[in-house]
Structure 1
Amino acid sequence: MVANPSILFPDAAAQAGAVSQAQHSERLLAVDSVNLEYRTRERIVRATHNVSFDVYGGDRFVLLGPSGCGKSTLLKAVAGFIAPHSGTISLDGEPVRGPGADRIVVFQEFDQLPPWKTVQQNVMFPLRTAKKLGRAEAKERALHYLEKVGLAAFADAYPHTLSGGMKQRVAIARALAMEPRVLLMDEPFAALDALTRRKMQEELLRLWEETHFTLLFVTHSIEEALVVGNRILLLSPHPGRVRAELNSHQYSHDSFGRIDFQRSVAHIHRLLFGETEAAQ
């Protein structure tokens, strides 16, 4: 078992790359000693215990851990939907006190789009509600991001005519159109079939290459974390505690068959579940 969190790098080149990245970006999100709790009929349950991490501008930061470790609860706290029992969460040095347009969430559920609005209207809706843009500007921006996710041809379609993957692409376009400081994604591809999931991961990374938005991504898939993230925070089984922080920018979908990738998957599994190297 890992008693204390550590920064782990596969090699010196990876470490140098991470240091270089840190030097060229600023800390955007700070989570400091956060404890999250919720009440059941019988008792108060602690979801996370003293979790701390920093997210820098342009990071693809992944919260990785088994079901029930509190990673989605952490994401909701960053979004401002729930308040920490103790500890602090700050964005640009200011405490997070509630939801805001600077943090937009893409959830796992496909049915997060109002069914009575067209695809274009769904993307425009938060822009208009937040009074960020006028109607003409909102329409232009909506079409811009729908084009980026490959759905401009479906601008006038309704959600019920779309596949699950297409609905998630609309949700991503809607979130990116708000141009948030941090894009929050809560296991957004978990319910998709394997082929669609991989395509969605590839599209997300392509969009990131174009705009370098800051991403906080939740998953329980080790392989997905290694591919999507450039930094990964490992959380222990319930209650979630920090096991380790790893750098993973060197991996892509082309890494799946490589020995070093498979070794990293096995190593992360041991870190998450407290298995010793000898036991393997």
Structure 2
Amino acid sequence: MSIQLRRATRRFRHRPIFTDLDLDVPQGARLLLAGDNGSGKTTLLRCLAGTLALTAGRISVAGEPVGSPAARRLVGLCLAPEQGLYGRLSARDNLRLVARLRLPRRSVEPATARVIEELGIGTYADRPAEKCSAGMRARVSIARALLGDPVVLLLDEPTRSLDEPTRAMLWAALDRRRHLTCVIASHHREDRARCDSTLTLPVGR
């Protein structure tokens, strides 16, 4: 299993976000997280990434405890895709920065060039991120998550700021990585149709 949850529970103070969640996501699967705003989709993604600890239970990624250095190397994460870039750095340098952390030095430039081409970033790759539109920044954030050939990709509303041609670029990039396990929180109908299964999180579970 690429992702395994056992009795995973997360509370904020006394408010339950999700409780005793058991889940198995096989390699190459695409899981849609559905639910109303406030149901815990982003919280669950953060727990899967290891950036937020569970209150109880456990999560593993490819057999590694979530949050461990080994698990972090296997996960590509894109939360709030229009945000989170270094504004004064160019789109290309934002990508290089992550590539240097995740890849051998000789692979940095080829890997950066590949995701720039895949997501159609070339026309503004050398523009400061703070000068890019929300849709442009979203492309860079998604490209950044793909660097290093992760085993698991976690996406939070990735297509919210993307037009139809760019959404097609994203899904083409994912289709080229059939081994990649994707967990996607989205309200977009096309994203839902592209997923194999759905986990609906009720508010206050």
TM norm. shorter chain > 0.5: yes
- Counterpart position of 1:34: 8
SS of residue matched to 2:73? coil
% identical aligned pairs = 26
Aligned-partner Cα distance in 1 for 2:55–2:133: 39
User: Aligned to 2:90, which of 118, 128, 145?
Assistant: 118
CA-atom RMSD in angstroms: 1.9
Where in structure 2 are the equivalents of 1:34-73 lying within 5 Å? 34-39=8-13, 44-73=14-43
Change (3 A) 1:111 1:237: closer
Q: Distance in 2 between matches of 1:84 and 1:75?
A: 11
How is 1:236-251 mapped onto 2 (pairs within 5 angstroms)?
236-239=202-205
For 1:185, the equivalent position in structure 2 comes to 155
Give SS of 2:23's match: strand
1:225 shift after superposition = 4.7
CA separation of 1:92/1:125 partners in 2, compared to 1, >3 Å: closer, same or farther? same
Q: 1:111, 1:64 → 2: CA distance?
A: 22
Q: Give the 3-state SS of the residue equivalent to 2:176 in structure 1.
A: helix
Counterpart mapping for 1:60-99 below 5 A: 60-98=30-68
Contact 2:29 2:182 in 1 (8 A): yes
Paired residue type of 2:193 = V
CA distance in 2, matches of 1:95, 1:67: 28
Deviations 1:191-242 (CA, angstroms, capped at 9, x unpaired): x3xxx354443222211222222211112x2724522312111222222xxx
**CA apart distance, 1:29:** 0.7
Distance 1:97 1:111, change over 3 A: closer
1:229 pairs with 2:203: no
User: 2:23 & 2:188 partners in 1: Cα distance?
Assistant: 19
Shift of 1:123: 0.7
Change (3 A) 1:149 1:187: same
Which residue does 1:15 correspond to in 2? Answer: none
Post-superposition Cα deviations, 1:116-175, rounded to whole Å, max 9, x if no partner, equal: 211111111012134x221x5312210111001111232222113322111111111111
Give unmatched runs, 5+ long, in structure 1. 1-26, 240-280
C-alpha displacement of 1:102 = 1.4
Residue 133 of structure 1: aligned partner: 104
Once residues 173 and 49 of structure 1 are traced to their aligned partners in structure 2, the CA distance between those partners, rounded to angstroms, is: 33
Gaps of 5+ in 2: none
- 2:145 counterpart of 1:145: no
Secondary structure at 2:137 match in 1:
helix
Q: Comparing both chains, which one has the higher relative contact order based on Cα–Cα distances under 8 Å and sequence gaps of 6 or more?
A: 2
Contact 2:81–2:141, Cα closer than 8 Å, also in 1: no
Report deviation, 1:115: 1.3
> In the alignment, is the contact (CA less than 8 A) between 2:60 and 2:66 conserved in 1?
yes
Listed one character per residue, the Cα deviations across residues 57-103 of structure 1 (whole Å, up to 9, x for unaligned) are: 11111111111111211110010012212211011222213471211
Instruction: Letter of the 1:102 partner, please give it.
Output: L
Bigger CA radius of gyration: 1
Q: Deviations over 1:222-274 (max 9, x none)?
A: 724522312111222222xxxxxxxxxxxxxxxxxxxxxxxxxxxxxxxxxxx
Q: Give the structure-2-normalised TM-score.
A: 0.89
